[in-house]
Structures are given as C-alpha cells and as structure tokens.
Amino acid sequence: MVVVVTLLNLCSGCCVALGHTKLLGFKTEYRDYEHKDHDEIISYKLTPAQISGAMRLRQMTNRFIHNTQDELYRNRSAHNNYKEALNSLSADKSIIICKPDKGKGIVILDKSEYIEKMNAIVNDTATFKQITDDPTMNKEDKLVRFLLKLHERGFISDTEYKLARPVGSRFARLYGLPKVHKPNRSIRPILSSIKTFNYGLGLMLANRLAHLRSSASMVKDSFEFANTVKSFSGSQLNLRMISFDVKNLFTKVPLAYTIDLIIDKLYEKCDLCSISRKKMKCRKCEDTEDFRTLLRLATSETHFVYNNNLYEQIDGVSIGGPLAGTIADIFMIHLEESLHDDLYKNGVRLWRRFVDDTFALVEPNASINSILSVLNGFHPSIEFTFEMEVDNSLSFLDVHVIRSVSQYSTTIYRKSTFTGLIMKWQSYVPLS
C-alpha cells in the first residue's frame, strides 16, 4: 500500500522509466544492437579506418551493455515494486484513476459514480444521439471527395487540402474529468478527437476563422487581466465587481445559429439567384454553401465512442475539438456586441471575458437580476450564473482582485483543491 501511495504522489505528470529506457535516455524497439530487419541489406565496404572505428564502437557498446545490466540489477526492486503497483491499480475495475479538470494531481473515482455522471451527459438528447453503426469510413470518403472538388475549384489551397484531407481515420473517444473544486464533483466531458475524420478540417477552419475571434472585451490570460485591473482608477473605484459564468458553454452553444452567424460575417447575401430554387448557382452562392457544408462536417457530424457505445453530437461543440474554442468565442462575441447597449443601460461599465468566465464592473445601484435577465434572455440554450464581490474583493481565473479607496490590487488566487504539485525530479522527462 505504501508503494501505491508513493506512486500516486508522483502525480499524473510524472513518467516512470522502466528497463533499458531509463539508461539509454530514449525508447528503442530493440534490446539487441546487432538486431537486423529481415530485408535489411548489409554492406561491408569499409575502409581500414572505418573498421578500426567500428571495433572501438563495439567495445564501447559492450561495456555499456554490461553497465546497463548491472544498473538494472541494482534497481530491480524499485522497478518491480512500481510495476506491481501499476498492475494492481490497473486490475481494479471498481475505480477510475484520472487527473482533475484543473490543476495537477490524481483523482480516484468510484467507477459507478463516474459512469452515472457521464451517462447523464450523453443521454442529453438535445446534444447527443446514439447510433448503431460506425460511420467513420463513409464520412472519411465523403469528406475526401468533397475536399478534392473544392481543391480543384481553387476554393481551398494546397496547404489547406493537405491539412484537412483525412487518412486512416478513427472515431473520437469521450471521457470526463472531475471538477474537484465544485461541491458535487461534476464531470467535464472531453473529446479526444485526434486522427478523427474531421480533425484536420477543424484545424483548417480554425485558421480561416481566426480573425473573427478578436474582440476588445476578451483577455488572453491572467497576466493581461491583472494588468487591466491595475489600470482602473477614478470613477471605476466606486463600481462593484461581479463575475459571470456560462454553464456548459461548449455543449450548449447553439451550433446552427453560430454557423449562420459565421456565414453572414463572411459572405454577403446574393440578390442574383435563389439557392433554394435555382439549379445553377452563382460562384458566390456556391462558395457560401460549400463553406457552410465544411462547418457542418467539422462540427455537427462528429461521432465518438463512450462505454462501448457509439454516439453522434448533434448540437454544441466538445472540448477537445480543434474548432470548439473558435465556435464558442464567435458566439460569445456576437452575444456581447448584441447586448452591449442593454447591458450598459442596466449599469454594466466594464466587461472582460476569458472563454466562458467574465469579470464585470457595475454601478453600485445596478440590479444584478436585471443584468442576468438580459444575458439569459439572449438565447434559450445559454444560461449565465454570477458571483458577487465579498468585502471589496473577487476572484477571477487565478487572480484575486482587491479594491481599496485609491486603487485595485491583485494577488494570486488558489482554489481550496489546489495541490501545489510540480514535476518530480525523478520523473523521466527531458531536463531542458
């Protein structure tokens, strides 16, 4: 049991090197340096100097092998203990071992509780639907043919075509990370989507849409936010601090609505032809519909496996998808621009957002319920919650903001579940 606790205390970022890997400094497929592939061509056309060098190299290699075997023998007890502990944890099917949603550490969950919370997520019929057959190959073939058509027409470049074209696709995998800082330890769904049929397409579209993510109301990180807060002065010192949070933004962002929004921003409406009636579309309409199809293929046709069942996401986006952050930001920027005047009328004087968390300054007599009503009335899928300042202070991201008579100051904020863990020295990772 002591070995298990020691192993878990290394935390999820620590790598344990076993066997020759620890001594070689890199992973090799072969233990024998003289191993040859069956089709390897052997050439002996060496000069005398090369032969002499090869003999010295063989002597050095033999000494290294001897020293390696001695080192492995001396450390066999520690290595074997770690291996046994890992095997024991892996064999326990009643638990789930994972990292927390935020921060470093190891979380051990009761498997039945984990499955119950994950089932509550995938059983949301407004966002997911269960499917019976694996559509991976059909979707890959469909996307390849569509991309080829767009490439031949010049709608996408050579670089974009190579990035978006899928080869050997597989379905995505859904898993959850526990929010240990929340009272009910809710689960954040994460989609592992690398090598899926639309992963490269998502990367390509994210590049094309990057210019739509810029907004004066956004902060890129805690450092920018802290610098912004420290610049507040004058009448801003009389305002109240409040933070807003969008519940489950990624899975609740209205996908069809946001796709229409993107199309409207990129393409002007065509007055020359009606897409719904005319068989021969003009080039502008063709480009518009093709880009809409690309957005749909990259988002609403995503399928994944969870607990040996196949699902398809029909609305929202999943954390882990390359286009998820872009879609969420574009929608939130549109919400902020649309509600700017109404929020100002209700006393909001400053709005700074990071993904789904927002820091705001409001007038002392502003009605928080009125502000919340404006925000929650924008779209039925989106729900905001809020947290008010306490004793002239409020935490946002990992920054604790304190308002005094003369200025705003900041300190580092740590959640109660903060572990303070850093990479262990004995972890098998590069030193640089």
Question: What confidence score (pLDDT) does residue 20 get?
Answer: 47
Lowest average pLDDT, out of 34-43, 90-99, 331-340, goes to: 34-43
Max mean pLDDT among 33-37, 183-187, 261-265, 281-285 falls in 261-265
Q: Is residue 310 a contact partner of residue 329, using CB atoms and an 8 Å limit?
A: no
Q: Is residue 122 a contact partner of residue 43, using CB atoms and an 8 Å limit?
A: no
Q: Tell me, yes or no, whether 119 and 186 share the same domain.
A: yes
Residue 432 to residue 419: CA distance in whole angstroms = 24
Q: Tell me, yes or no, whether 147 and 226 share the same domain.
A: no
How many domains, the chain?
Answer: 3
- Domain membership of residue 220 (yes or no) is yes
Look up residue 91 and give its two tokens: 């064999």
Q: Tell me, yes or no, whether 371 and 385 share the same domain.
A: yes
Q: Tell me, yes or no, whether 295 and 263 share the same domain.
A: yes
Tokens 């921060």 belong to residue? 103
3-state secondary structure of 350: strand
Q: Tell me, yes or no, whether 188 and 229 share the same domain.
A: no
Q: Tell me, yes or no, whether 246 and 259 share the same domain.
A: no
- Domain membership of residue 99 (yes or no) is no
For 72, phi then psi, to 5°, come to: -65, -35
CB-neighbour burial class of residue 74 (10 A; exposed 0-12, middle 13-18, buried 19+): exposed
Question: What confidence score (pLDDT) does residue 83 get?
Answer: 77
Question: What confidence score (pLDDT) does residue 280 get?
Answer: 64
- Domain membership of residue 131 (yes or no) is yes
Does 429 have pLDDT greater than 90? Answer: no
- Domain membership of residue 263 (yes or no) is yes
Look up residue 300 and give its two tokens: 């609403």
Q: Please give the residue that has the higher pLDDT: either 9 or 378.
A: 378
Q: How far apart are the first and last CA of the chain?
A: 33
Across residues 144-160, what is the average pLDDT?
94
Across residues 7-29, what is the average pLDDT?
53
Q: Tell me, yes or no, whether 132 and 192 share the same domain.
A: yes
Domain that holds residue 302: 107-208+255-315
The whole-chain average pLDDT of the chain stands at 84
Confidence of residue 23 (pLDDT cuts 50, 70, 90): very low
Q: What does the pLDDT look like over 286-337, one tens digit per residue?
A: 889 999 999 999 998 889 999 899 999 888 888 888 999 999 999 999 999 9
- Domain membership of residue 192 (yes or no) is yes
Q: β-pairing, 187-192 with 303-306?
A: unpaired
Q: What does the pLDDT look like over 375-426, one tens digit per residue?
A: 999 999 999 999 999 999 999 988 899 988 888 888 888 876 676 666 666 6
Does 187 have pLDDT greater than 90? Answer: no
* 217 Cβ contact partners less than 8 Å away, ≥ 6 residues apart: 333, 336, 351, 352, 353
How many residues are present in the chain? 432
- Domain membership of residue 431 (yes or no) is no
Q: Tell me, yes or no, whether 242 and 336 share the same domain.
A: yes
Q: Tell me, yes or no, whether 224 and 275 share the same domain.
A: no
CA torsion angle 251 252 256 262 (round to 10): -90
Does 229 have pLDDT greater than 60? Answer: yes
Q: What does the pLDDT look like over 67-97, one tens digit per residue?
A: 777 766 776 676 677 778 778 888 888 888 8
Lowest average pLDDT, out of 40-49, 206-215, 259-268, 369-378, goes to: 40-49
Give one word for 308, left, alpha or beta, with left for phi > 0 and alpha for psi -120 to 50. Answer: left
Question: What confidence score (pLDDT) does residue 7 get?
Answer: 61
Residue 120 to residue 429: CA distance in whole angstroms = 38
Confidence of residue 24 (pLDDT cuts 50, 70, 90): very low
> In this structure, what CATH number is given to the domain that contains residue 352?
3.30.70
Q: Which of 263, 285, 315 is the last residue of a domain?
A: 315
- Domain membership of residue 286 (yes or no) is yes
- Domain membership of residue 58 (yes or no) is yes
Cα-to-chain-centroid distance, residue 94: 27
Nearest to 408 by CA among 230, 224, 238: 230
